A = this chain, B = another copy of it.
Amino acid sequence: MKRTRKPNDVTTPPKIDIRGVASLARVSIATVSRTINHVPTVDPVLASRVWKAVSELNYFPNTQARALVSGKSRLLGLVVSEITNPFFPELIQEFEQIAVARGYEILIGSTNYETKTMEVCARRMLERQVDGVAIMTFGIEDFLLDRFTADNIPYVFIDPAPSRPLNSVLAVDYRAGIYEGVQHLAVLGHRNIGFISGPLTRRSAQSRKAAFLSCLQSTGLKANPEWLIEGNHALDGGRDAMQKILALPTWPTAIICSNDMTAIGLQHALFEANLRVPDDFSLIGFDDIHLAEYTIPPLTTVRMSCRELATRAIDNLLSRLKPLDNPAESATKITTRLIVRQTTGLPRNTLQDLPQMPATTPRKR
């Protein structure tokens, strides 16, 4: 025998493990394991002795050991672009609540839009043996996905990722919400509408932009390439984009942003330039983060439900974990819809007789 369990060392307190519980309850470790895993065939007398010992010792099972032998970590990965963009914490919160309700915990990865960091995150997910991963960021490399496939770990993309199998992509209906936004502006009399996209290396940014252009067209409006600016989904990108527009010889009267942080950046730039929202510019955001209700003035925006996103992502993952259930392959899209607040109004220099602005939509999630 090379190494032996150290003999009863009176100086160090005894380790609290399954063996300790077993000996205190005067049963075998197998019975302890069965009890705490709620296997129904345990004698109630022994079970109560076990529970007594568990609470007496304040015992928690070791997750590592448990995962090692069972091959299931009960951990779900969530990879997002940037944790400091308030949209993602909201998503994370929903994701966590739903995961916990389903008996899982979550491991968060934030890529900060860097490919390198993305790789580190994916690697971490792999190393920690997550049971599934939801990915809401751009630019994951194929070899990483292959490794997920090799380890039989299901993944789901939130946002289109066309090169992936269908069952691993959760489509968001960008068009519906943006169309409502364009219509809303058109009804108010806007004819010149700009769009601030996210970083165009990102597929979802491209989709939102494409959705905007398509909506514009079906509303019968013309796109002006000068008013299509690439942002970065963050405050500073929004501010910079607005400054670029203000430097242009002709301005749009309304601007749609591909996320709320960008819109808040625009609001700030307009404030700095002494221009007023919605009197000088109408603004529409995207996401409907909590903060959108509190900007000055409150932001009209397209709501995408974090809860729906999280639920669908987790259910997708979980359904693929247990092949017994029929995967059902529902191809429905995540819905989006316009929430009208106060950053949209009549276009500048217009005195047409137009319908009153509807009141602020009450927030209900």
Query: Is the CB–CB distance between B291 and A235 below 8 Å?
Result: yes
A298 partner residues in chain B, CB cutoff 8 A: 268
A90 partner residues in chain B, CB cutoff 8 A: 84
What is the bound-complex CA distance between A93 and B86, given in angstroms? 13
A110 partner residues in chain B, CB cutoff 8 A: 93, 96
Query: Is the CB–CB distance between A84 and B93 below 8 Å?
Result: yes
What is the bound-complex CA distance between A93 and B89, given in angstroms? 12
Query: Is the CB–CB distance between A294 and B235 below 8 Å?
Result: yes
A282 CB-CB contact with B under 8 Å = no
A62 partner residues in chain B, CB cutoff 8 A: 68, 127, 129
Q: Which of A146, A294, A295, A297 has the most CB of B within 10 A?
A: A294
Query: Is the CB–CB distance between B294 and A150 below 8 Å?
Result: no
Known contacts A83-B92, A84-B86: does B267 contact A127 (CB below 8 Å)?
A: no
A235 partner residues in chain B, CB cutoff 8 A: 290-291, 293-294
What is the bound-complex CA distance between A267 and B124, given in angstroms? 41
Task: Pick the contact of A268: B108, B124, B296 (CB < 8 A).
Answer: B296
A129 partner residues in chain B, CB cutoff 8 A: 62-64
Report the minimal beta-carbon distance from A20 to chain B, rounded to whole angstroms.
Answer: 12
What is the bound-complex CA distance between A68 and B291, given in angstroms? 43
Q: A168-179 interface mask toward B, CB cutoff 8 Å, 1 = contact, 0 = none?
A: 000000000000
A50 CB-CB contact with B under 8 Å = no
Per the 8 Å Cβ criterion, residues 288-308 of A in contact with B are 290-291, 293-298
Q: A95-124 interface mask toward B, CB cutoff 8 Å, 1 = contact, 0 = none?
A: 010001000010110100000000010011
A89 partner residues in chain B, CB cutoff 8 A: 83-84, 86, 88-89
What is the bound-complex CA distance between A196 and B242, given in angstroms? 34
A253 CB-CB contact with B under 8 Å = no
What is the bound-complex CA distance between A314 and B264, given in angstroms? 33
Task: Pick the contact of A150: B16, B108, B126, B264 (CB < 8 A).
Answer: B16
A151 partner residues in chain B, CB cutoff 8 A: 16
A147 CB-CB contact with B under 8 Å = yes
Q: Which residue of B is nearest A127, CB measured?
A: B63
Interface residues of A (CB under 8 A from B): 13, 16, 58, 60-65, 67-68, 73, 83-84, 86, 88-90, 92-93, 96, 100, 105, 107-108, 110, 120, 123-124, 126-129, 143, 146-147, 150-151, 235, 239, 264-265, 267-268, 271, 290-291, 293-298
A-B contact pairs, 10 of them (CB 8 A): A60-B127, A64-B64, A64-B65, A64-B129, A83-B92, A89-B89, A96-B110, A264-B294, A267-B294, A268-B298
